[in-house]
Homo-oligomer: A and B are copies of this chain.
Amino acid sequence: MNRNAPIGVFDSGVGGLTVAREIMRQIPNESIIYFGDTARVPYGSKSKETIITYSRQIVEFLLTKQVKAVVVGCNTASAFALETLQKEFDIPMIGVVKPGAKVAAETTVNHRVGIIGTLGTVNSDIYKNYIHELNGGIEVFSKACPLFAPLVEEGWLDDPITYEVATRYLNDLMKHEIDTLVLGCTHYPLIRKTVQKVMGDSVNLVNPAYETAISLRTALEEANLTNSGTEVKHKFYVSDGAEKFKSFANTILPCEVEETKDINIELY
């Protein structure tokens, strides 16, 4: 394995860019090959079997780019496909759920944690299960928020309508008096401000992307795979709408995205 090879990061679309951003910040000398499955987005309402098929195709594609590790930068794909991928492929593979669950379990004081995510992530109970592995005494309350991702994609981030939608979705979680809320979908950090306004300042919001980047750094160190070179070059691929993706990416990432390429993911 070439330690100067890039890291593969994938998501159903643009959401995983919040994970790529954290990796760029925490491990700035690693290169990233990003794939956004914009032709088949969203993943949140699709079945486990479909998500596994899609994720497998994407890893096959990333391997053609000689990646040394893969980050599943999508909560739904982490929930449904990560375990299968780890069995099938022989490189370090990291999801966003386990790191997010770990921070939540370590952060909560009153042992009442909320999880918000897509239908797929929430119904999988994966956050709850990981948190209970770490501490069985924590009560976990979950709520699917299917409109959050479309609202982010519409660009209505700090917006009265998004606030209304958030109030309706989060009402139950507030009643449960949680002190920690996991943003269990990579789109959600982009409406973090609105979610915080609804929940109040006493609730700590957990963005799994940060901890995922730290886990990746540790995994690379343990496998002797940290980049020893100096040249960093990120590359972006999508399954549809490269230009639209590029302009969105440029509003999120600390680096400039010069080019994004369309590929036919169904061929992998």
A150 in contact (CB, < 8 A): yes
Q: Choose one: B46, B151, B168, B241; the contact of A45 (CB below 8 Å).
A: B241
Q: What are 14 A-B contacts defined by CB distance under 8 Å?
A: A38-B46, A39-B46, A39-B50, A45-B241, A46-B240, A47-B241, A50-B240, A146-B154, A147-B150, A150-B150, A161-B161, A161-B165, A161-B168, A164-B164
Number of this chain's copies in the complex: 2
Q: Which residues of B contact A47 (CB under 8 A)?
A: 240-241
Q: How far is the CB of A35 from chain B (nearest CB, A)?
A: 16
- Find residues 234-268 in chain A having any chain B CB closer than 8 Å to their own CB: 239-241, 266
A40 in contact (CB, < 8 A): yes
Measured in the bound complex, the distance between the Cα atoms of B147 and A50 in whole Å is 24
Q: How far is the CB of A43 from chain B (nearest CB, A)?
A: 10
Interface size on A, residues (CB 8 A): 22
- Find residues 48-73 in chain A having any chain B CB closer than 8 Å to their own CB: 50
- Across the A-B interface, give the 4 residue pairs with the lowest CB-CB distance, nearest first: A150-B150, A50-B240, A39-B50, A46-B240
| 20 extra interface residue pairs, beta carbon distance < 8 Å, beyond A47-B241, A147-B151 | A38-B46, A39-B40, A39-B46, A39-B50, A40-B40, A45-B241, A46-B240, A46-B241, A47-B240, A50-B240, A146-B150, A146-B153, A147-B147, A147-B150, A150-B150, A160-B164, A161-B161, A161-B165, A161-B168, A164-B164
Q: Which residues of B contact A165 (CB under 8 A)?
A: 161
Q: Which residues of B contact A38 (CB under 8 A)?
A: 46
Q: How far is the CB of A45 from chain B (nearest CB, A)?
A: 7
Q: Which residues of B contact A146 (CB under 8 A)?
A: 150, 153-154
Q: How far is the CB of A189 from chain B (nearest CB, A)?
A: 20
Residue of chain B at shortest CB distance from A266: B266
- Find residues 95-130 in chain A having any chain B CB closer than 8 Å to their own CB: none
Measured in the bound complex, the distance between the Cα atoms of B118 and A153 in whole Å is 13
A172-187 contact mask (Cβ, 8 Å, vs B): 1 or 0: 0000000000000000
Q: Which residues of B contact A266 (CB under 8 A)?
A: 266
Measured in the bound complex, the distance between the Cα atoms of B47 and A40 in whole Å is 12
Measured in the bound complex, the distance between the Cα atoms of B49 and A39 in whole Å is 11
